Amino acid sequence: MNFNLALYPYQREAVDFMKEHPRCINASQMGLGKTIEALKLCQELDLQHVLIVCPKTLISEWFWQTEVICNEGALTPHENSHYEHRLSGLNLKGPRFVIVNYDLLSNRQCWSELVSVKWDCIILDECHKIKNHKIKRTKAMYLLTPNTPRVVLMSGTPMQNSPDDLFPLMHIIDSSLYRSYPTWVECFCETRVVKLPNGKQFRQITGAKNQETLRQILAHHMIRHTKKENLKDLPDKQYRTIPVSLGSERTQYNTMEEQLFALLDSGELVTAPAVIAQLTRLRQICLEPNLLAEEKTSTPSNKTLTVMELVEDTDEKFVIFSYFAQYIRVLEQELQKRDIPYVTIVGSQKPSERLHAIQAFQEGKARICLGTIGAMGLGITLTAASTVIFCDLFWNPAVNEQAEDRLHRIGQKNAVTVVDLYCKGTIEDAVHRTVRRKEKMFSEIIGLQKSVDELRKLREGG
C-alpha cells in the first residue's frame, strides 16, 4: 500500500499513539485529518483486512481517500447488493478495505458475513453514532469488536450531550473494565428523577460530575488535537447574525404559536414528539410558509429573499445549510431563476452523486453548495468556499459546529464567515439564543426545553 501524503507533526503523534494503543479514541477536532491518520496506521502496520464503518453520507469520501491516498480500491457493499460471495474468502484475498454504513450493522445478512471475517482492524468513523448503548448498531459493535486486535474510534465530538455518550466507546475499548452502564452513569452523570402524570418516573441525565476523574480515564485511551494548537496558520472563524422579520406569514405563525402554548398550558399529558412536531411547523413557517400551505404563493418568504440577496451581492462561493430538505428544494428553484450554478447534497442521493457534487463545487464548476445539515454536516470537505449560511440551526450546537467545519479545515486559505439567519421574535430567535451559548453540557432534550422557555420569554416581552 503506497501512501501519497506527508503528515503534519501532530498527525505523526496521532499515528504513533494509535500504534501504542490498539483500542483507542481519536477525538481530534473536525478538519484535522483523522481519516489520513487512520489510513497511515493501516499502511505502517501493513494491516490486510480493515473494516471501516461510517455514516452513509461518508462512504464516497472514504472510498475516494483510499483510492487517492493509498492507491487502493475498496469494497463498498450496500443493502441491496449481492456481496456475500465478495466477502466470503476475504481472509485469504480481496480488497484491503471494506466500507459499510452504520445501518448495515442491523442487516442480518450483512452481519453474518462481517462476523465471518478475521479483521485486523475496525475503524468507526463518527463513532458518536453509537452513543446509545441500547440500539442495534451499538450492540452489533459489542459483538463484532471483542476479537479484533485493533479498534480505532474516531469523532471530533465523542461526547455530544453528556458523559453517558462515552460509555459505549469505553465498553468497546475495555469491556471488562467498563462493564456496566448504570455504574458509569452513577459515577459521571448528574441525574434527577422525573415523575410523569401517569405515576411512572424515570431518571433524567442533567449534566456531568467527577469530570477530573473522567479526564484522567480518557487520557489513557484518547488523543485529541485542536486546530488552534496545531494549525496556527488556519484562519479564524467569524460569526455574523442577521435577524429577519416575518412578512405576511406572521399571522400564520402567531396562530400556530398560540396553539402550542395552549397545548403546553392545558394541564394534559403532552408527549415530546407532539411538542417537537409543533416546533418543527413553526420553524418551517419561518423558512418558507409554502412548506406547509396547501395553496402555494408565488412570493418567496423574507428568509428566502434574504438568502438570495446575500448570494447576489457578491461573486464569492457559498455553502448554504438547512435542516429541511424541502427548503433546499425551494432554494434550488430560486437559484435556477437567477441562473446561478449550484450543486445539492441531500440524504437521498447515491454516494456517487454526492461525490460528484463535492468535486464539482471544489473544482469551481458551481458557486453555491446547498445541503441539509444531516447530509453535509459530517466528513466532507468544502474549502472552496469561505462563507457558510445557516438558514436555520439544529438544537445541538455540536451538530452545527460539525457543519461549519466542512469549510474550516485543512486546505482553507481564508477566514471562514458563519452567517446565521433567524426570524426575530420566533422559535428561531429562541433556538439562536440557546444554541449560541455553546453550553458544555447540552443535551438535545435540555436544549429543546430551553428553547421553549426562551420562546415563552419572548412572548411575554422578557
| Between 23 and 75, the higher pLDDT residue | 23
**What is the rounded distance in angstroms from the CA atom of residue 222 to the CA atom of residue 156?**
11
pLDDT of residue 327: 94
pLDDT of residue 349: 81
158 and 299 together in one domain: no
Structural domain ending residue among the three candidates 229, 255, 285: 229
Mean pLDDT of 215-223: 89
Work out whether strand 368-372 and strand 387-390 pair parallel, antiparallel, or are unpaired: unpaired
pLDDT of residue 88: 54
**What is the rounded distance in angstroms from the CA atom of residue 345 to the CA atom of residue 323?**
12
Residue 35: inside a domain: yes
| Between 454 and 9, the higher pLDDT residue | 9
Structural domain ending residue among the three candidates 195, 229, 263: 229
Residue 166 has pLDDT above 80, yes or no: yes
Structural domain ending residue among the three candidates 211, 229, 247: 229
pLDDT of residue 82: 45
192 and 272 together in one domain: no
Give 228's Cβ-side CA count (13 Å radius).
1
Q: Which of 104, 105, 207, 120 is nearest to 162 (CA)?
A: 207
Which span out of 47-56, 67-76, 248-257, 442-451 was modeled with the highest average pLDDT?
Answer: 47-56
173 and 284 together in one domain: no
Residue 148 has pLDDT above 90, yes or no: yes
144 and 289 together in one domain: no
C-alpha distance from residue 76 to each of 96, 99, 148 (Å): 12, 5, 20
Which span out of 76-85, 314-323, 451-460 was modeled with the highest average pLDDT?
Answer: 314-323
What is the number of other CB atoms lying within 10 angstroms of the CB of residue 117? 18
pLDDT of residue 448: 46
Ranking 231-235, 345-349, 354-358 by mean pLDDT, the lowest is 231-235
Residue 1: inside a domain: no
Mean pLDDT of 301-317: 89
Residue 13: inside a domain: yes
365 and 428 together in one domain: yes
Please name the residues in contact with 456: beta carbons below 8 A apart, sequence gap of 6 or more: 261
pLDDT of residue 228: 77
Which span out of 235-249, 283-297, 351-365 was modeled with the highest average pLDDT?
Answer: 351-365
Q: How many angstroms separate the first and last alpha carbons of the chain? A: 62
What is the number of other CB atoms lying within 10 angstroms of the CB of residue 274? 13
pLDDT per residue as tens digits for the range 87-118: 555 555 668 899 998 888 877 777 777 888 88
What pLDDT band is residue 84 in, cutting at 50, 70 and 90? very low
225 and 277 together in one domain: no
pLDDT of residue 454: 61
**What is the rounded distance in angstroms from the CA atom of residue 285 to the CA atom of residue 168?**
38
Mean pLDDT of 16-21: 96
**What is the rounded distance in angstroms from the CA atom of residue 51 to the CA atom of residue 118?**
10
pLDDT of residue 443: 36
Q: Which of 104, 111, 100 is nearest to 54 (CA)?
A: 100
Residue 2: inside a domain: no
pLDDT of residue 76: 79
Q: Using an 8 Å Cβ cutoff, are 335 and 361 in contact?
A: no
199 and 341 together in one domain: no
pLDDT of residue 458: 67
**H helical segments located in 231-377:** 250-264, 272-287, 302-312, 325-337, 351-362, 373-376
Task: Please write down the HEC assignment for all residues of 68-137.
Answer: HHHCCCEECCCCCCCCHHHHCCCCCCCCCEEEEEHHHHHCHHHHHHHCCCCCCEEEEECHHHHCCCCCHH
Please name the residues in contact with 453: beta carbons below 8 A apart, sequence gap of 6 or more: 430
pLDDT of residue 411: 81
Instruction: Indicate yes or no: pTM above 0.85.
Output: no
Work out whether strand 189-195 and strand 201-208 pair parallel, antiparallel, or are unpaired: antiparallel
Q: Using an 8 Å Cβ cutoff, are 379 and 61 in contact?
A: yes
Residue 3: inside a domain: no
Task: Give the range of the structural domain holding residue 79, as residue numbers without chain letter.
Answer: 9-229
- Phi/psi at 48 (5° precision): -95, -30
Q: How many domains does the chain have?
A: 2
56 and 122 together in one domain: yes
Residue located via cell numbers 452545527: 400
Write down the mean pLDDT value for the chain. 83
pLDDT of residue 271: 66
What is the number of other CB atoms lying within 10 angstroms of the CB of residue 224? 16
pLDDT of residue 438: 45
210 and 67 together in one domain: yes
What pLDDT band is residue 376 in, cutting at 50, 70 and 90? confident
Mean pLDDT of 261-287: 77
224 and 247 together in one domain: no
pLDDT per residue as tens digits for the range 411-440: 888 888 899 998 888 888 877 776 655 444
pLDDT of residue 431: 77
